[in-house]
């Protein structure tokens, strides 16, 4: 079974849903305007372009990282319309007119956001590849707690939320750091949240 | 500079910059997303095309044909290079499996084609239009089944652990038979994936017959040699550049298919090409830490003196592959007059097993340190005390050979004190906190200290700025910062007067990042170059270099003080390499530690959660306690993964790792890891290097998984001897919770 | 990913009509699963109908005293809604136990119901999988199956529904509201929404081609204590090995549904009567006829003990 079916499967056989024969599709180009880090950017993109690749490959905003391209690591986290999302799992064309903040819009080397400065102070990174995603998430997580959005570890769904280490750990769990800087990241975020570290 | 006598007093001992918990100098780039990783080098060469790699859909067999005709006509496609039209290419340094070429498939997802197109979307789509006609062959995929036919084999991890197929001291069997108390158990560790966050990636550009590869690689010197060999061109025609590496853990020690296929794709397309391995390809296409089956036997007197110890390990690999050197630490960690260590290797047709963070010691200690815990309990001795009682200050295989510096006992005792070990409940399964059964565990950490030849170039300019260039890499280890600290200390300048440039094969060859040798070796190389620069400065200023004091940006001799930059009229550049003599043979050089872990095990579901972690490390001078601590907690985190969740799930029928993405292969997330404490013992090791430092990057993972497993036992009274300790392995043994 | 055309219709029925008239068209909402699968060419739509602009993103009370949750309400907003937190806590808890903060910000109510299995063979296009490629076989039966279904599977498929939200909705007897291209709507009880694989594992739900989910309605609150207990190998951001959604009343009666065990949220109403007798009585009945593989047989014990944990938590 394996050999024969593997051959067939690699041959881009139509999936269960569709019955179209093998076809060589032309890219479909679409115009899209995004407001990225406060700047309007007009692009003409293949509809298949993810928001992540629009930023990295078309706008050369490479701060957002591609760790898995499947929503499994969080390295691509951006803040879109005020909310953090995995930019690898959304199409750029779905964000016509949207306000997008990438790590480049959070702060710059000579003008660091307090979260970036706290990551440096607490060594909340090692190789640096997950770091922009961690920081975008970190900024958004503190806002989510402030906005009263509960989490898996919130003991009482109807009580006022606190910034606790457990809340930070749970909410940051969509951002994988294989270097294992978690303990330091929590300290950086705790400091930014204004609680004693 | 030759380092063949123990270091005396030197400028590093001032510790004005070295040894300080300095923030990373590359921190502002990493935190703002401005540090450039390989796939992001839009700046280095224009009009880069996109390569997409296709992996084999079978585990073993041949390829009869590949039809690329439709794919070649797909929109945007510039070139397709297939394995069938490419003769099997040479392997690079340390490669076991072939990276590309030929009609044979050695393992699942081995690269068989690269599609180059104008855009990523086009290359990806076209890759699905290639049809492949395979002739599958049956293969061997089940370590447990093949272990019976495994052969004794010598092996070397290339990272400081290794040995012969069998090594003996005294008469193990005789002593074990006579021992008052004996212990004999078999354990298993799982195949693990490096799962670094940055996929393997390369931009390749040809200029005539010269190629430049902007890539993500831990060992530039090896990559340089390897790519020349693989491409069949002189080394002088290859340049490698890898200033930022998004994690490696051994997975980027050697060149991989991304580099080869970027180069081939760029040649075929006549344009620069960039290639990143897709995440679902990485687990099977690249290397992994091989699974092991290990047996440990310990014989001791009733008072807990080890008289016989044996550690045997079986692992599998492709033909030409090495065994996992999991018994290596057992030759050195504890005393005992009669000893046996042995390794066997089974041939498997799974993807290539190779080095992953602390190869050998990491899986070896996962077993040895549980066995020590089991034996301590059998003897009725506290597990900390049992380890202390069997400490050795000499190499048990060569008693004349002392450790350069060894304070395992200090680590265990301080750790026990700080962790509150005395409060441990020795009776397993007897402490409950709400829904949790709570337990604590201890394990020794041990990792050899390797030293490697390492070069650097240092340049002084008229502003007094010191620029260091070396092909050393920073894979998250903090290399930029500790090299800057070293140069600043040596030249007496503040940190912001040092510029560090890394990862370029045009720079002097360094030790590279592997085997936890990088920090100590590469800073020693910078030390050597700085010694030469100090001499050159002194000579230019007409000062006796022995009298010269380099501090505060000045060179002082007697009453005379000259700004350092004045010596650099017209520029001053020197280069040197540290080379290590016999000291690493005369003395056994190793690093030590003790891990203490507290876990909770859910009374109903047997889910395990880590509650507290402490590591105490004795690893020579700590060059930067902040980044060194990060290395240790990172190792501890990866060790928690190995203990509790990490396992490449082998489909033993089809011959591949089925959970080949980051949803299927679970690594620890934030919620798995508590606050972690690390204590470094205040020590120096002048026998190791002029920096008096040792490696620390892998010590953190060594032993920690066993401490977790021992804590689980203490919590539940259940021994799980097969990693990872997922609940399915012991739920049926959990006590009634109702 | 194959090329596709893209449109943003302005009403639900227009969206349904667009999908109905265009060959191989699909709705896209959050996209977190569809795009994941399109990148691997497991899903290959030729046309995407983006429903994000349709509204359908409010939570309104129903005349029956329940709640009507718009199809495009994001998981984050549904979990955080004060009424859901108060009266349907099991739903909040289930949502919060799923995925990550980033994914919940994007994932929608309707999309979550439609997420496809995480079976490793479904995800690997070089392997046989009847769900992905009907008739190719099921590699999971004798392959890596530790995460897969123990009950309700077939010789053709042992995939699980991977979600958490649907388990809570099944427990709550929610109804899925849909509209089709002709503009006619219907309500599908959650019990009938997901199907068992049988010999057609490529079909996950009872939705008809082109039918668009517009809302999920929750009946009036059940009261009692709500628990969602999810067991997984790591502490967060992982699919369930087993999960239990339960609503328990002070007298010990209640409801219980299981996730991670079947092709659909697994609830056996006839077994719930045994809740006062404890977990084992319920799971013995609910999992009667289970056919685990040797790799996932542990799930039977785990289901019992997870329900035990849920009962314990409810009583605490």
pLDDT tens digits for range B180-221:
999 999 999 999 999 999 999 999 999 999 999 999 999 999
Look at residues B277, B257, B233, B225 and name the one whose alpha carbon lies nearest to residue B92. B225
Claim to verify: residue B107 and residue B71 sit in the same structural domain: yes
SS3 helix, strand, coil % of chain C, rounded to 5? 30, 20, 50
- Contact list, A89 vs chain C (CB under 8 Å): 31-32, 35-36, 103, 106
Give the count of alpha carbons within 13 A of A180, CB side only.
Answer: 33
For residue B255, what pLDDT is reported?
Answer: 98
Q: What are phi and psi of C55, to 5 degrees?
A: 75, -120
Å between C109 CA and nearest CA of chain B: 21
CB crowding A19-49: b at 16 or more within 10 Å, else e = eeeeeebebbebebebebbeeebebebbbbb
Claim to verify: residue B441 and residue B500 sit in the same structural domain: no
Contact in structure between B649 and B658 (CB atoms under 8 Å): yes
**Gap between the Cα atoms of B344 and B330, Å rounded:** 16
Q: What are phi and psi of B584, to 5 degrees?
A: -75, -15
For residue A23, what pLDDT is reported?
Answer: 56
Residue that has been written with the tokens 């918990």 in this structure: B21
C-alpha distances out from residue B561 to A47, B10, B548, B567, B570, Å: 66, 20, 9, 12, 20
pLDDT tens digits for range A87-102: 999 999 999 999 999 9
**Does residue B107 form part of some domain?**
yes
Claim to verify: residue B388 and residue B533 sit in the same structural domain: no
- Contact list, A170 vs chain C (CB under 8 Å): 235-236
Claim to verify: residue B597 and residue B721 sit in the same structural domain: yes
Look at residues A31, A53, A41, B121 and name the one whose alpha carbon lies nearest to residue C2. B121
- Contact list, A149 vs chain C (CB under 8 Å): 76, 79-80
Å between A110 CA and nearest CA of chain C: 28
> Are A157 and C93 in contact (CB < 8 Å)?
yes
Residue that has been written with the tokens 């996992």 in this structure: B324
Claim to verify: residue B681 and residue B574 sit in the same structural domain: no
Catalytic residues of B: 698
**Gap between the Cα atoms of A120 and B493, Å rounded:** 22
Check CB contact of A185 with chain B, cutoff 8 Å: yes
Q: Which residues, at least 6 apart from A159, have a Cβ–Cβ distance to it below 8 Å?
A: none
Whether the pLDDT of residue A14 is over 70: the answer is: no
Check CB contact of A186 with chain B, cutoff 8 Å: yes
Strand order in the sheet with C225-231: C225-231, C242-248, C254-259
Among A3-12, A89-98, B358-367, B396-405, the least confident range: A3-12
**Gap between the Cα atoms of B179 and B199, Å rounded:** 51
Whether the pLDDT of residue A22 is over 50: the answer is: no
Question: Would you place residue B738 in the very low, low, confident or very high pLDDT band (cuts 50, 70, 90)?
Answer: low
Q: Sign of the C-alpha dihedral, residues C234, C240, C242, C247?
A: positive
Among B153-162, B536-545, B615-624, the least confident range: B153-162
Segment B649-677 mean pLDDT: 98
Claim to verify: residue B52 and residue B16 sit in the same structural domain: no
- CATH number of the structural domain spanning residue B239: 3.90.1170.50
Nearest Cβ partner for A126 among B40, B70, B630: B630
Residue that has been written with the tokens 């260039």 in this structure: B469
Question: Would you place residue A20 in the very low, low, confident or very high pLDDT band (cuts 50, 70, 90)?
Answer: very low
Claim to verify: residue B706 and residue B623 sit in the same structural domain: yes
Contact in structure between A101 and A117 (CB atoms under 8 Å): no
- For B108, the closest chain C residue by CA position comes to C126
Which of C102, C121, C124, C139 is the best substitution to test chain A (most A C-beta atoms within 10 A)? C102
Whether the pLDDT of residue B400 is over 50: the answer is: yes
For residue B158, what pLDDT is reported?
Answer: 84
* Longest CA–CA separation in chain C, Å: 57
Å between C307 CA and nearest CA of chain B: 9
pLDDT tens digits for range B406-423: 999 999 999 999 999 999
Å between C62 CA and nearest CA of chain B: 38
For residue B161, what pLDDT is reported?
Answer: 85
For residue A9, what pLDDT is reported?
Answer: 32
Give the count of alpha carbons within 13 A of C282, CB side only.
Answer: 30
Å between B673 CA and nearest CA of chain A: 7
Look at residues B396, B413, B380 and name the one whose alpha carbon lies nearest to residue B303. B380
**Gap between the Cα atoms of B74 and B81, Å rounded:** 15
pLDDT tens digits for range B6-18: 999 999 999 999 9
Exposed (0-12), middle (13-18) or buried (19+): which is B182, by Cβ within 10 Å?
middle
User: What is this model's ipTM?
Assistant: 0.98
> Are C3 and A47 in contact (CB < 8 Å)?
yes
Give pTM, 2 decimals: 0.97
For residue A197, what pLDDT is reported?
Answer: 64
For residue C216, what pLDDT is reported?
Answer: 98
CB crowding B441-461: b at 16 or more within 10 Å, else e = bbbbbbbbbbbbbbbbbbbbb
Expressed as residue numbers, the domain containing B474 is 2-36+451-581
Among B162-166, B300-304, C167-171, the least confident range: B162-166
Nearest Cβ partner for C2 among A9, A25, A140: A25
Beta bridge partners of B600: B438, B609
Å between B6 CA and nearest CA of chain C: 47
Question: Would you place residue A151 in the very low, low, confident or very high pLDDT band (cuts 50, 70, 90)?
Answer: very high
Contact in structure between B178 and B377 (CB atoms under 8 Å): no
Contact in structure between B331 and B401 (CB atoms under 8 Å): no
Residue at which a domain ends, from B553, B581, B609: B581
pLDDT tens digits for range C11-70: 999 999 999 999 999 999 999 999 999 999 999 999 999 999 999 999 999 999 999 999
Q: Find the radius of gyration of the CA atoms of chain B.
A: 26
**Does residue B79 form part of some domain?**
yes
DSSP assignment of B503-529, as one string? SBTTSPP---S-TT-HHHHHHHHHHHH
Residue that has been written with the tokens 């004794």 in this structure: B152
Check CB contact of B76 with chain C, cutoff 8 Å: no
> Are C241 and B671 in contact (CB < 8 Å)?
no
**Gap between the Cα atoms of B604 and B209, Å rounded:** 66
- Contact list, A66 vs chain B (CB under 8 Å): 39, 199, 276
Residue at which a domain ends, from B581, B615, B649: B581
Q: Subunits that touch chain B (at least 3 Cβ pairs < 8 angstroms)?
A: A, C
Whether the pLDDT of residue A18 is over 70: the answer is: no
Whether the pLDDT of residue B101 is over 90: the answer is: yes
- Contact list, B602 vs chain C (CB under 8 Å): 309
For residue B660, what pLDDT is reported?
Answer: 98
- CATH number of the structural domain spanning residue B400: 3.30.365.10
Q: Find the radius of gyration of the CA atoms of chain C.
A: 19
Contact in structure between B71 and B112 (CB atoms under 8 Å): no
At CB < 8 Å, which residues of chain C contact B?
A: 1-3, 39-41, 118, 120-121, 123-127, 139, 142-144, 146, 229, 231-239, 241, 278-279, 296, 298, 301-302, 305-306, 308-309, 312
pLDDT tens digits for range C69-123: 999 999 999 999 999 999 999 999 999 999 999 999 999 999 999 999 999 999 9
Nearest Cβ partner for B247 among A12, A63, A127: A127
**Does residue B704 form part of some domain?**
yes
Contact in structure between B431 and B469 (CB atoms under 8 Å): no
Domain count, chain B: 3
Mean pLDDT computed over every residue of chain B:
97
For residue A24, what pLDDT is reported?
Answer: 62
Claim to verify: residue B298 and residue B435 sit in the same structural domain: yes
Give the 3-state secondary structure of residue A77. Answer: strand
**Gap between the Cα atoms of B713 and B705, Å rounded:** 13
Segment C146-157 mean pLDDT: 98
Residue that has been written with the tokens 């400081």 in this structure: B160
**Does residue B203 form part of some domain?**
no
**Does residue B41 form part of some domain?**
no
**Gap between the Cα atoms of C121 and B659, Å rounded:** 9
Whether the pLDDT of residue A4 is over 60: the answer is: no
Exposed (0-12), middle (13-18) or buried (19+): which is A60, by Cβ within 10 Å?
exposed
Cis ω before B724 (30° cut-off from 0): yes
Claim to verify: residue B545 and residue B478 sit in the same structural domain: yes
- Contact list, C128 vs chain A (CB under 8 Å): 1-2, 5, 9
> Are A7 and B57 in contact (CB < 8 Å)?
yes
DSSP assignment of C259-293, as one string? ESSSSS-B--HHHHTTGGG-HHHHHHHHTTT----
Look at residues A61, B683, B376, A83 and name the one whose alpha carbon lies nearest to residue C100. A83
**Gap between the Cα atoms of A179 and B698, Å rounded:** 12
- Contact list, A19 vs chain C (CB under 8 Å): 24
What dihedral do alpha carbons B427, B432, B435, B441 form, nearest 10°?
-50
Exposed (0-12), middle (13-18) or buried (19+): which is C173, by Cβ within 10 Å?
middle
Check CB contact of B668 with chain C, cutoff 8 Å: yes
Whether the pLDDT of residue A3 is over 50: the answer is: no
> Are B475 and A127 in contact (CB < 8 Å)?
yes
Q: How many beta-carbon contacts under 8 Å exist across B and C?
A: 109
Q: What are phi and psi of B430, to 5 degrees?
A: -115, 5
Give me the helices (H) in chain A, please. Answer: 2-10, 51-53, 103-106, 114-121, 131-146, 165-171, 182-192
Claim to verify: residue B302 and residue B390 sit in the same structural domain: yes
Mean pLDDT computed over every residue of chain A:
90
**Does residue B75 form part of some domain?**
yes
Nearest Cβ partner for B653 among C142, C234, C279: C142
For residue B496, what pLDDT is reported?
Answer: 97
Nearest Cβ partner for C143 among B128, B658, B668: B658
Residue at which a domain ends, from B551, B581, B611: B581
**Does residue B570 form part of some domain?**
yes
Locate B584 and state its tokens.
């690493």
Segment C122-149 mean pLDDT: 98
Claim to verify: residue B172 and residue B306 sit in the same structural domain: yes
Claim to verify: residue B473 and residue B530 sit in the same structural domain: yes
Locate A17 and state its tokens.
């849903």
Which of A1, A46, A126 is the best substitution to test chain B (most B C-beta atoms within 10 A)? A126
**Does residue B197 form part of some domain?**
no
């Amino acid at each position: 079974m394996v050999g024969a079916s593997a051959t067939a499967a690699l041959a881009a056989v139509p999936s269960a849903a569709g019955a179209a024969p093998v076809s060589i599709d032309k890219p479909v180009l679409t115009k899209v305007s995004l407001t990225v880090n406060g700047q309007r950017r007009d692009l003409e993109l293949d509809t298949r372009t993810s928001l992540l690749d629009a930023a990295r490959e078309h706008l050369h905003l490479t701060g957002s990282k591609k760790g898995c391209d499947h929503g499994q690591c969080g390295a691509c986290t951006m803040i879109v319309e005020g909310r953090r999302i995995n930019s690898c799992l959304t199409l750029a064309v779905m964000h016509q007119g949207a306000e997008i903040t990438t790590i480049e819009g959070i702060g710059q080397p000579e003008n660091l956001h307090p979260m970036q400065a706290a990551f440096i102070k607490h060594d909340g990174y090692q190789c640096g590849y997950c770091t922009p995603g961690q920081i975008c998430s970190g900024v958004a997580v503190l806002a989510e707690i402030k906005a009263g959005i509960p989490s898996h570890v919130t003991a009482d769904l109807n009580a006022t939320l606190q910034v606790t280490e457990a809340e930070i750990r749970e909410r940051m769990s969509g951002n994988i750091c294989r270097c294992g800087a978690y303990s330091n990241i929590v300290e950086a975020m705790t400091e930014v949240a204004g609680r004693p570290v | 500079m030759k380092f063949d006598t123990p270091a005396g007093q030197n400028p590093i001992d001032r510790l004005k910059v070295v040894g300080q918990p300095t923030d990373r100098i590359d921190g502002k780039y990493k935190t703002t997303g401005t540090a450039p990783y390989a796939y992001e080098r839009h700046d280095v060469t224009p009009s880069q095309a996109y390569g997409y790699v296709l992996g084999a859909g079978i585990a073993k067999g041949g390829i009869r044909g590949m039809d690329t005709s439709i794919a070649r006509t797909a929109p945007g496609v510039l070139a397709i290079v297939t394995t069938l039209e490419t003769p099997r290419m040479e392997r690079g340094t340390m490669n076991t499996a072939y990276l590309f070429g030929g009609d044979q498939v050695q393992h699942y997802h081995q690269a068989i084609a690269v599609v180059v197109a104008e855009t990523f979307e086009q290359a990806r789509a076209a890759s699905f239009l290639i049809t492949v006609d395979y002739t599958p062959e049956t293969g061997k995929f089940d370590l447990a089944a093949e272990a019976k036919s495994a052969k004794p084999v010598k092996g070397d991890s290339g990272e400081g652990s290794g040995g012969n197929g069998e090594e003996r001291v005294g008469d193990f069997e005789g002593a074990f038979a006579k021992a008052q108390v004996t212990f004999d158990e078999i354990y298993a560790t799982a195949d693990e994936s490096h799962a670094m966050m940055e996929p393997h990636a390369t931009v390749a550009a040809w200029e005539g017959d010269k190629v430049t590869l902007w890539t993500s690689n831990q060992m530039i010197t090896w990559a340089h040699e390897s790519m020349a060999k693989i491409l069949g061109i002189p080394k002088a025609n290859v340049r490698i550049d890898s200033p930022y590496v998004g994690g490696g853990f051994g997975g980027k020690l050697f060149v991989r298919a991304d580099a080869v296929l970027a180069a081939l794709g760029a040649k075929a397309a006549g344009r620069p090409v960039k290639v990143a391995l897709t995440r679902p390809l990485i687990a099977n296409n690249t290397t992994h830490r091989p699974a092991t089956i290990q047996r440990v036997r310990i014989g001791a007197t009733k008072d807990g003196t080890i008289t016989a110890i044996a550690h045997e390990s079986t692992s599998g690999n492709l033909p030409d592959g090495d065994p996992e050197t999991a018994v290596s630490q057992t030759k050195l960690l504890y005393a005992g007059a009669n000893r046996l260590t042995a390794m066997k290797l089974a041939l498997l047709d799974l993807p290539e097993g190779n080095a992953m963070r602390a190869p050998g010691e990491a899986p070896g200690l996962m077993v040895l340190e549980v066995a020590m815990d089991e034996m301590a309990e059998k003897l009725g001795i506290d597990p900390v005390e049992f380890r202390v009682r069997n400490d050795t200050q000499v190499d048990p295989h060569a008693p004349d050979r002392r450790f350069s510096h060894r304070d395992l006992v200090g680590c265990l005792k301080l750790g026990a004190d700080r962790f509150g070990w005395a409060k441990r409940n020795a009776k397993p399964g007897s402490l409950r906190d709400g829904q949790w059964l709570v337990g604590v565990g201890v394990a020794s950490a041990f990792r050899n200290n390797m030293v490697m030849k390492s070069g650097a170039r240092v340049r002084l300019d008229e502003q007094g700025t010191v620029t260091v260039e070396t092909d050393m890499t920073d894979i998250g280890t903090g290399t930029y910062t500790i090299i800057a600290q070293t140069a600043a200390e040596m030249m007496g300048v503040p940190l912001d007067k040092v510029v560090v440039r890394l990862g370029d094969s045009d720079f002097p060859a360094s030790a590279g990042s592997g085997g936890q040798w990088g920090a100590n070796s590469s800073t020693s190389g910078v030390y050597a170059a700085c010694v030469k620069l100090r001499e050159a400065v002194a000579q230019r200023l007409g000062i006796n270099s022995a009298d010269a004091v380099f501090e505060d940006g000045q060179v002082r001799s007697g009453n005379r003080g000259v700004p350092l930059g004045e010596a650099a009229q017209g520029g001053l550049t020197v280069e040197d390499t540290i080379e290590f003599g016999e000291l690493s043979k005369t003395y056994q050089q190793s690093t030590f530690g003790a891990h203490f872990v507290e876990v909770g095990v859910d009374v109903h579901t047997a889910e395990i959660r880590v509650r507290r972690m402490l590591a105490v490390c004795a690893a020579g001078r700590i060059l930067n306690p902040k980044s060194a601590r990060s290395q240790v907690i990172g190792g501890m985190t990866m060790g928690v993964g190995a203990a509790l969740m990490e396992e490449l799930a082998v489909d033993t029928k089809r011959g591949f790792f089925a959970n080949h993405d980051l949803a299927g292969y679970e690594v620890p997330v934030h919620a798995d890891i508590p606050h972690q404490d690390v204590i470094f013992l205040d020590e120096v090791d002048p026998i190791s290097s002029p920096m008096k430092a040792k490696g620390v990057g892998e010590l953190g993972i060594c032993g920690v998984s066993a401490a977790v497993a021992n804590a689980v036992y203490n919590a539940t009274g259940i021994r799980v001897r097969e990693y990872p300790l997922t609940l399915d392995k012991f739920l049926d043994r959990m006590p009634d919770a109702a | 990913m194959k090329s596709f055309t893209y449109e943003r219709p302005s009403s639900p029925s227009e969206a349904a009509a667009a999908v109905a008239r265009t060959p191989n068209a699909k709705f896209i909402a959050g996209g977190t699963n569809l795009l994941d699968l399109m990148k691997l060419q497991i899903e290959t739509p030729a046309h995407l109908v983006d429903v994000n602009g349709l509204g359908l993103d409010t939570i309104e009370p129903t005349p029956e005293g329940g709640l009507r949750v718009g199809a495009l309400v994001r998981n984050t907003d549904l979990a955080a809604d004060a009424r859901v937190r108060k009266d349907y806590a099991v739903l909040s808890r289930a949502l919060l136990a799923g995925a990550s903060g980033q994914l919940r910000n994007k994932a929608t109510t309707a999309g979550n119901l439609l997420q496809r299995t995480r079976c490793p063979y479904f995800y690997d296009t070089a392997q046989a999988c009847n769900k992905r490629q009907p008739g190719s076989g099921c590699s999971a039966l004798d392959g890596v199956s530790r995460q897969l279904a123990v009950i309700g599977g077939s010789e053709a498929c042992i995939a699980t529904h991977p979600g958490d939200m649907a388990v809570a909705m099944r427990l709550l007897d929610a109804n899925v509201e849909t509209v089709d291209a002709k503009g006619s709507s219907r309500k599908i009880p959650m019990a009938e929404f997901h199907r068992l694989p049988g010999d057609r594992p490529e079909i996950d739900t009872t939705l008809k081609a082109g039918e668009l989910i517009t809302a999920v309605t929750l009946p009036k609150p059940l009261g009692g204590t709500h628990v969602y207990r999810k067991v997984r190998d790591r502490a967060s951001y992982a699919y369930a090995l087993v999960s239990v959604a339960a609503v328990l009343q002070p007298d010990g009666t209640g409801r219980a549904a299981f996730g991670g065990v079947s092709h659909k949220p697994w609830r056996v109403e006839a077994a719930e009567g045994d809740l006062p007798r404890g977990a084992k009585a319920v799971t013995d009945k609910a999992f009667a006829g289970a056919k685990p593989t040797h790799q996932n047989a542990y799930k039977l014990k785990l289901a019992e003990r997870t329900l035990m944990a849920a009962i314990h938590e409810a009583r605490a």
